[in-house]
């Protein structure tokens, strides 16, 4: 097996806000795998480290990626040995895992043969409303509901909290909790001192859940919150630093969250995500899958695998519409579903 990689810079359609700042572009790396006897069959995988968040957001990332490809190109290394060399580089682990699966299934980006990849069924997703000024967020909420979304996710923590509450109240004036499910993602924006009162105010609006209300790394505070919260709490960034099964089990047992949110690019791919799921289900913790600003290459790998899990909850999968220069793919949105249009082709120039 042979390997190479190519950097690629994605450009946002419009600046997109999070509690960690405004994003206008992001860099990814695409891993290519092939066998010398069939060089025309190529497997692709996406490395998608997020600046300021991923544990492999490091100055030596590209150097490590180069070393990894060199190791792949050296005869004799097993898949398990190769995976061991990138344990602390979750986005490379995910890229390698998905590129290898793509190669094994013919290099056609059909990683799992299922009703989703055959274009027979879609995956229900939430409608994501990015942080923005209050009027822009209001317009985006209205647009998502008009498009048919029954689960709306709002990123909060960037504008005045009372304005954010007002936006949610407006939804509730028009739609009950049984008509529109509302999730919010604070991305750790609240302080330990203020979080309890803010959770009370949000809970009064009959929300489904809140993601990461406080910054990760405050396990004792988070455990207390999850024990006493009026609103179900989902761990997101909290999961990123934990790689061994023992660490994962200890974290969930100590904090006991209501939900966990799994981003394969940030936690090491499908196998690592499945390990989290197995542990969560053992203690009756809910879960769902979320993409993390991948291009359509990474999103495709996440979506096809997500369908395999048979979850009935709305998933947090992106739509590929954030970027001006995304790779053309068969994925598109129909109502509130991500679908794979079998009549459309991939166009990937690297």
pLDDT tens string, the chain, 350 residues long: the values are: 999 999 999 999 887 655 556 778 899 999 999 999 999 999 999 999 998 889 999 999 999 999 999 999 997 778 888 988 998 999 999 999 999 999 999 999 999 999 999 999 999 999 999 888 889 999 999 999 999 999 999 999 878 899 999 999 999 999 999 999 999 999 899 999 999 999 999 999 999 999 999 999 999 999 999 999 999 999 999 999 998 999 999 999 999 999 999 999 999 999 999 999 999 999 999 999 999 999 999 999 999 999 999 999 999 998 778 899 999 999 999 999 999 998 999 999 87
Q: Which of 51, 70, 104 is the last residue of a domain?
A: 104
In terms of residue numbers, what domain contains 100? 2-104
Q: Indicate which CATH number applies to the domain containing 186.
A: 3.20.20.120
Q: Could you list the active site residues?
A: 155, 263
Residue 118, domain member (yes or no)? no
Q: Where are the alpha helices (DSSP H) in the chain?
A: 61-73, 79-84, 90-104, 134-147, 161-174, 195-203, 219-228, 245-255, 264-267, 270-282, 296-308
Pairing state of beta strands 2-18 and 233-235?
A: unpaired
Counted domains in the chain: 2
Task: Decide: 118 and 70 in contact? Cβ < 8 Å.
Answer: no
What contacts 233, CB < 8 A, 6 or more positions away?
A: 209, 210, 211, 213, 222, 225, 226, 257, 258, 259
Instruction: Classify residue 348: in a domain, yes or no.
Output: no
Q: Are 314 and 286 in contact (CB under 8 A)?
A: no
Through-space distance between the first and last CA atoms of the chain, rounded to whole angstroms:
19
Residue 309 lies in a domain: yes
pTM of the model: 0.95
DSSP 83-150: HHTTTT-HHHHHHHHHHHHHHHTTSSS--S-STTTTTS--EEBPEEE-B--HHHHHHHHHHHHHHT-S
What is the CATH number for 98? 3.30.390.10
At how many degrees (to 10) do helices 195-203 and 161-174 cross?
20
Please give the DSSP secondary-structure letter assigned to residue 56: T
Q: Number of helices and strands (H, E) in the chain?
A: 11, 13
């Amino acid at each position: 097996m042979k390997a190479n990689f190519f950097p690629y810079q994605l450009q946002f359609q419009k600046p997109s806000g999070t509690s960690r700042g405004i994003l206008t572009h992001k860099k990814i790396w695409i891993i290519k795998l092939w066998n010398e006897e069939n060089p025309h069959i190529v497997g692709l995988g996406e490395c998608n480290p997020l600046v300021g968040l991923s544990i492999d957001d490091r100055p030596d990332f590209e150097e490590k990626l180069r070393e990894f490809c060199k190791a792949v190109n050296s005869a004799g290394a097993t898949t398990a040995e190769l995976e061991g060399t990138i344990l602390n580089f979750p986005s490379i682990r995910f890229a390698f895992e998905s590129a290898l699966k793509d190669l094994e299934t013919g290099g056609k980006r059909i990683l799992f043969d299922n009703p989703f990849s055959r274009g027979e069924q879609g995956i229900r997703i939430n409608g994501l409303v990015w942080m923005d000024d209050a009027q822009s967020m209001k317009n985006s909420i209205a647009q998502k509901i008009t498009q048919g979304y029954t689960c709306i996710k709002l990123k909060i923590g960037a504008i005045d909290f009372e304005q954010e509450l007002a936006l949610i109240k407006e939804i509730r004036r028009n739609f009950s909790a049984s008509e529109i499910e509302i999730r919010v993602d604070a991305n750790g924006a609240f302080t330990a001192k203020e979080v309890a009162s803010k959770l009370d105010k949000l809970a009064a609006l009959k929300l489904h859940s809140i993601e990461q209300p406080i910054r990760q790394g405050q396990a004792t505070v988070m455990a207390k919150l999850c024990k006493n919260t009026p609103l179900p709490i989902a761990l997101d960034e909290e999961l990123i630093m934990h790689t061994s099964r023992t660490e994962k089990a200890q974290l969930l047992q100590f904090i006991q969250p209501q939900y966990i949110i799994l981003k394969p690019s940030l936690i090491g791919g499908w196998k690592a995500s499945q390990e989290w799921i197995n542990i969560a289900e053992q203690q009756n913790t809910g879960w769902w899958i979320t993409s993390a600003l991948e291009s359509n290459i990474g999103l495709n790998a996440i979506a096809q695998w997500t369908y395999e899990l048979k979850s009935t909850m709305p998933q947090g999968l992106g739509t590929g519409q954030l970027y001006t220069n995304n790779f053309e793919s068969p994925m598109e949105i129909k109502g509130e579903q991500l679908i794979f249009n079998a009549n459309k082709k991939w166009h990937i120039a690297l």
